[in-house]
Amino acid sequence: DWTMGAFRAEAIARIRDQVGEGRVVCGLSGGVDSAVAAALIHQAIGERLTCIFVDHGLMRAGEAEEVVATFRDRFNIRLVHRDASDLFLGALRGVTDPEEKRKTVGRLFVEVFEEEQRRLGGADFLAQGTLYPDVIESVSATGGPSVTIKSHHNVGGLPERMRMRLVEPLRELFKDEVRALGRELGLPEGIVGRHPFPGPGLAIRIPGEVTREKADLLRKVDAIFLEEIRAAGLYDAIWQAFAVLLPVRTVGVMGDQRTYDHACALRAVTSTDGMTADVYPFDMGFLTRVANRIVNEVRGVNRVTYDITSKPPGTIEWE
């Protein structure tokens, strides 16, 4: 008779056992996995956990604020919030190749994380929100021929040289179990039920060069799309929904004025693990409502398209 309550108690005991009197640092990304790992470890060892949130400035609207409000203010978890958006956006200047964007964000993330970690005076353990599918994937990645489609960056991707022992309390769990555990720990639904978000953030949803202006524009478009999805009660039926800002400007008409602005694409898919995905079949009324709101409310975007590619052959993200 296996319940989340029992798992939680066991996991807490195991963390205490492993960590002893040691100190743990945990990278928070705003995503479900790192959030649940942090909340669980905090219940086990309290003040001896410090979370580091490296804010790359490429999060969705309101997300950075929610991380701080939840972890520092509500859960009283020791949290270092480092606003590194200037650093990341500066490094991304002129970078247009998707893999180079991923590597740039990944490399800087590690640098900033290490810097903050040193500032804290070091720690004995590094906590990661590694899930069972991540464990499987990294094992299968070494057996047999494979092609790297995209080099993943996430808060679990810290390098060997950090030489800290790992605390990975979610290693046996699947995503839906992690969500159940998060609810058991009292994390807000906004975090527990949140769609997955890639480590490189909006950088890989802005084909071409990433700038602060484009990221701001994309955040507005994305927020409208998600707001309408929530209002229609569709959020939980969808694996991931987001907007992509296209590096194309098109001609439009607004009132009696000619416009020449960005086009954007909307993407929404269903999936169980992200490995394959189907397009979410919105009805036309929903899509045209969203398109009208975007064009009317976001200056700088005058055309909206809906991506109807499944995975495979498309990937979920555009880069």
Sort 177 into a burial class: Cβ within 10 Å, 0-12 / 13-18 / 19+.
middle
CB 127 within 8 A of CB 171: no
CB of 154 to ligand XMP, least distance (A): 3
The yes or no reply on residue 272 touching ligand XMP (CB under 6 A) is: no
Give whichever of 152 and 249 is closer to ligand XMP, judged by the CB atom.
152
The yes or no reply on residue 27 touching ligand XMP (CB under 6 A) is: no
Q: φ, ψ for residue 245 (rounded to 5)? A: -95, 120
Closest to 305 measured CA to CA, from 317, 319, 289, 287? 287
Of 57-65, 230-238, 300-308, 309-317, which part binds ligand XMP (CB under 6 A)?
A: 309-317
The yes or no reply on residue 240 touching ligand XMP (CB under 6 A) is: yes
Options 60, 153, 267, 303; binder of ligand XMP; rule CB under 6 A: 153
Q: What is the CA radius of gyration of the chain?
A: 20
Closest to 194 measured CA to CA, from 69, 82, 40, 60? 60
Options 41, 199, 214, 218; binder of ligand XMP; rule CB under 6 A: 199
Options 23, 72, 78, 150; binder of ligand XMP; rule CB under 6 A: 150
What is the rounded CA–CA span in Å between residue 26 and residue 210?
28
State yes or no: 210 annotated in a binding site. Answer: no
State yes or no: 33 annotated in a binding site. Answer: yes
Count the residues of the shown chain that bind ligand XMP, applying the rule CB under 6 A.
Answer: 16
Q: Residues for the chain: how many in total?
A: 319
Give whichever of 31 and 169 is closer to ligand XMP, judged by the CB atom.
31
Give whichever of 44 and 110 is closer to ligand XMP, judged by the CB atom.
110
CB of 311 to ligand XMP, least distance (A): 5
The yes or no reply on residue 188 touching ligand XMP (CB under 6 A) is: no
CB of 152 to ligand XMP, least distance (A): 4
The yes or no reply on residue 152 touching ligand XMP (CB under 6 A) is: yes
CB 271 within 8 A of CB 277: yes
Site string for ligand XMP, 90-109 (x = CB under 6 A): ------------x-------
Which stretches of the chain are DSSP H helices? 4-19, 32-45, 63-68, 85-92, 98-119, 132-140, 175-184, 189-192, 212-231, 284-297
In the structure encoding, which two tokens stand for residue 48, read together?
């001896």
What is the rounded CA–CA span in Å between residue 18 and residue 127?
12
Closest to 262 measured CA to CA, from 192, 314, 209, 191? 209
The yes or no reply on residue 274 touching ligand XMP (CB under 6 A) is: yes
Q: How many CA atoms lie within 13 A of 278 on its CB side?
A: 6
Options 22, 188, 193, 196; binder of ligand XMP; rule CB under 6 A: 196
State yes or no: 29 annotated in a binding site. Answer: yes
**Known binding-site positions:** 29-35
**Footprint of ligand XMP (CB under 6 A):** 102, 149-150, 152-154, 196, 198-200, 240, 274, 311, 315-317
